[in-house]
Structure 1
Amino acid sequence: MSSETSLPSSGGKAKVCLIFATRGRAEVLERVVSFVDSQTVRPDLIIVSCVSDEDAGHLANRPGLLVIKGRPGLTAQRNHALKQVSDDFDVVVLLDDDFLMHDRWIAEVLKALDSDPSIACVTGTVLADGIHGPGYSVEEGQAILARATDVPCSLRIVPTGGPYGCNMAFRARSIAGLRFDERLVLYGWQEDRDFGGQIWNRGGRVVRINTALGVHLGVKRGRVSGRKLGYSQVINPLYLARKKTMPLRAALDHVMRNVASNIVRSFAPEPWVDRRGRLGGNLIGLWDFIRGRLTPERAANL
């Protein structure tokens, strides 16, 4: 029995479920899912949580893949998928629909979980993140991974304040009964930090490892408006601080950095970012906070 496919919780080959929540990006999703076939350890089930048939493209006919449809919104779609995961799964992986894994991503995550039963959540190392720029094409992402020949041989596990939502893996028994907060509407914004905070409050370890590599394409199609996101940039961290799933200092740091960045860059915004819209949303969020309104769901109506 290979150590990279076993977990203390399972006593045998780890059973892995991989979840994608998606909307409006079927072409990218189809290529990302096909790339999963290059994994040295493949998932036993892939769940695609979407809103309409068009969101899943031709994936409904793929063996070992389940397409489910429900209400829109990242947190709602992930929760809908989690309800479909049966009790016999050991590991649940959640990836963005534009995240490409290095071929040993799942194997390295299993190795980390196998090393310490107190580890509840593992997030990998992002080699390149298109969210900070115009984004990468699938071909560009694959080329970046192909150049990553120096994969670390020695696993290094470090504590982290929260997982990065584009690539997260969880020990299934550690998240039993947990759900993403559906008040964090639309794109979610800090929903990963909130979920990690729930795990941390249960006593589970949330870690990052250096050997599970990937590329976040940062596809811009399907993103929410700048105004809506700007509101979430302010309200969501403060809401999580009140929930005690994010330290207040970290929440204030998130808010200040985002507002400052939007102010400075609104004078010469990047073509792919609606800085002025974000700043407008920031100001609405700050005004709501001053009035004592921590209502993350308001972003949907802006």
Structure 2
Amino acid sequence: MDAHRLRMLRELADHGTVAAVADVLSMTPSAVSQQLKILAREAGVTLIEPAGRRVRLTDAGRVLVGHAETVLAALDRAAADMDAYRTTARGEVSVSFFPSGAAMLLAPLIIAARARGVEVIGRDIDTPAARAPQQLAEFDVVVVHRDDRDIAEWGPRLSVVPLLREPLDVLLPPGHRLATQHRIQLSDLAAADWIGVEGGLMVDDVFKSIATLTGVPVRITQRVNDFRVVEELVAAGLGIALMPRYVTLARDLVRRPIGDIRLARRVEAVTRVGADARPAIALVLEELRGIAAGVAGQSMSE
């Protein structure tokens, strides 16, 4: 069986539609369908079947995806072994970040990796952390952030490198009634209007955790994803917000920790299992760990 066709079947398992696979692999949907038909003839069984306007894997298709993972992982390891013969990591590594993570980590990563012979190609994409497996069809490394209370497992096909744990503070305008307090209690915020983010993103997951812990829903009056826009709305007195502690503010606003609950986000680098055997990817992960430790250390010393 052709490895490229096996990769298409795996991508179909990850993405769910032929059109999505075609987009990821820069092919036409008809070309993907044709290649999957050839793979079915090679296997001698039906691998996909109609499901409404979509398709789904048959039982045989799901079994073959498992074998495809083994074959493709072996091919990746073989490629990594060949790379390991080089004395110095080289080439390009593509890395996806959530926007505030890119602002914090991308520039120093590019500089540090370039000094060691590796070019980092970075992108900032505002998408839920749960989409990391799909993003890995396009990127070598995906840097995500999650609610610290999110304990969902990534599964055996992915490898995760913890980078940092970042506390979340309350962001207030200077004249707010709570701005003079050193720490704020959740009960002080019961009637507050909050500036939130789109559902599914990290901050929204934290708000859900707060509601679960307190039994009181958080009143979100605006939802914007860009932290700079959040700053403007808070500065205008339109609400308060949660802000990761290491995010640099452009506005003169007040940050205060919540004293009776620990709120934080975890920042992690996700790769496919075995990808870090490539020297260039291993180098990028090493640099990310060092840069993240420096960010956390510098903030604690300020």
Q: TM-score, normalised by structure 1?
A: 0.27
Compare relative contact order (CA 8 Å, sep 6+) and give the higher one, 1 or 2.
2
The structure having more radius of gyration, on CA atoms, is 2
TM-score, normalisation: structure 2: 0.27
